[in-house]
Structure 1
């Protein structure tokens, strides 16, 4: 039963093959088995490739099954349409378009399985790419916020410098009136005289200005720092919102590109393996000698072709003979008096009926 199933997979005529030897049947069963297992590999490869797209095993298996059926039908068609002629060059030219199609199918089948075989290496490449994308993404987002943050930081620095400048002036006045009181500078008179009082009043006025300036600038600094904190919060939110896109950067195209960054030799040998599997039914049929099945199939096809040509020629000859016979018959009838008199009588009766009908019509009108 399994042998019969593989024979059906080979696309051969089972009625003719059943009349052939066991060896001939085994040959086509082997070709059919290759076609079948190639379709199974296509189903597995397509299911895995689609799983990376849909992330749903049932959807992936459904469309993978459809793809496997398509590959099975194509392979079966390719093998069944190669006719053995006994001339290898003619057979190769006949099969060349089908070989090109087989190469395309082999590429499509092998690529998803390469992705699975080199999954760990691909994941490493993707991780490096994700890290680079994360850094680049943060830098790009930072370029949107950093100019404003830098300007605000400069404003804070200016406000702090104003306070520092004012404090330096206050400290200088403090040192001045202390030195006046100690008699080490100014009038150099020990004690708190009028000059001391003047310098002390000037210091106290500047100190009041300093305290007011501190209060105003600290309020401005606090407001500016709140703006900076808000911008940094927006930056973190933007980074958090865009990071999932980078984390999901592991689709089919990304994995194929990552695979291309790995050494090409292992992938090339896997491609050659699937190319050999895909083209093996064609190569086997090209290399195999013309067998009993091929002779019987050729005999049946040529018999049908000969019968069609014979029927066509016979119909053309019959049509030509009928034309000649009809010409002779009508030529003989043309000179018969009896037929002339009969048609004359009928024509006379018809003209009388037409005249009577016309008379009645005219009479009704009047």
Structure 2
């Protein structure tokens, strides 16, 4: 049962192969088994590739089965269409397009399995990239909010500087009227005279203005600090919203790109392994000598080809003979007197009818 199944997988003609020796049959059993197991590996690779994209095991399995059947059909077609000839060079030319197709299939099959084999290394590369993307993302978002925050901080600094300047001015006025009272400066008279009162009044006015300025600027500073807090919260919210995009940056394309950043040699040897598996049925057919099955298949195809050519030639000769006979028959008929008289009578009657019809139409018009 298994032998028949693998022979079916090889694409060989079972009716011809049944009459061949066991060695010839075993050769095609091996080719069919290679085709089948290549399709199985394609199914696994396709399922994993789709699972990394959609994260749905049922859809991945369904796609993997369809992909495996497609690869199975292609491989079976490639192997079954290679015919053995007496020239190895002609066989190679015949197989070269199929070898190119096998290389493409090997690349497609091997890549998803490479992603699975090097999954830990790929995850490490992706983690590094995600961390760098997170830092870059924070930097880009900060560049959007930093100018406005710095502008508000500058305004706060200006307001604080106004208070400091007014405090310095008030302190100077305080020192001035105290020195006047102590007789150290100004009139240098000890006691609180008219000059002292004047300077004290200036200080009190400046102190009142300072207190009012502190009250007004403190309110403005609070508002601006609240605006800064709001901007910082908005910045953090933007970072939080963009983080899931970075966290989900582990799709198929990202993994393939990460695989390319790993050392190429292990990946290359895995590709060579699948290439050897994919091309092994073709290489086996090219290297094998022309066997019993090939001779019988060639005999069968030649017989069919000869039979078809004979039938085509026979139909052409029959057509030529029919044309000659028809020409002779119609020539003989055209020379018969009875046929001529009959057609003459019919033509005469037809012309009479045409004349009568024309006369009736003219009569109606008049």
Instruction: Quickly name the TM-score band, shorter chain normalised.
Output: over 0.9
Q: Which residue of 2 aligns with 1:314?
A: 314
Counterparts of 1:329-348 in structure 2, within 5 Å, are: 329-332=329-332, 339-340=336-337, 342-348=338-344
Shift of 1:181: 3.5
Question: Corresponding residue for 1:113?
Answer: 113
Q: Normalization by structure 2: what TM-score?
A: 0.93
Q: Structure 1 pair 287/193, CA: closer, same or farther in 2 (3 Å)?
A: same
How many residues align? The count is 362
Residue 236 in structure 1 maps to residue 232 in structure 2:
no
> What is the CA–CA distance in structure 2 between the aligned matches of 1:100 and 1:253, rounded to whole Å?
24
Q: Deviations over 1:64-91 (max 9, x none)?
A: 2211111111101000000011321111
TM value normalised by structure 1: 0.93
Q: How does 1:191-340 map to 2 (within 5 A)?
A: 191-332=191-332, 339-340=336-337
What RMSD, in angstroms, separates the aligned Cα atoms of the two structures? 2.0
What is the aligned partner in structure 2 of residue 354 from structure 1? 350
Q: Give ranges in structure 1 of 5+ residues lacking alignment.
A: none
Runs of 5+ consecutive residues of structure 2 not aligned to the other structure: none
> Deviations along 1:299-339, whole A, 9 cap, x unmatched?
0000000011111122222223333344444555555xxx3
Q: Distance in 1 between matches of 2:259 and 2:167?
A: 66
Partner of 1:94: 94
Q: Does 1:75 align with 2:78?
A: no
User: Any idea what SS the aligned residue of 1:136 has?
Assistant: helix
189-198 or 110-119, larger mean C-alpha shift? 189-198
Deviation at 1:194, TM superposition (A): 3.5
Contact 1:34 1:281 in 2 (8 A): yes
Deviations 1:244-286 (A, max 9, x none): 1111111111111111111000000010011001101111111
Per mean C-alpha deviation after superposition, the further-off stretch among 317-326 and 218-227 is 317-326
Partner of 1:128: 128
Distance in 1 between the 2:319 and 2:37 partners? 54
- Whole-angstrom CA distance in 2 between matches of 1:219 and 1:321: 118
For residue 96 of structure 1, give the secondary structure of its aligned residue in structure 2. helix
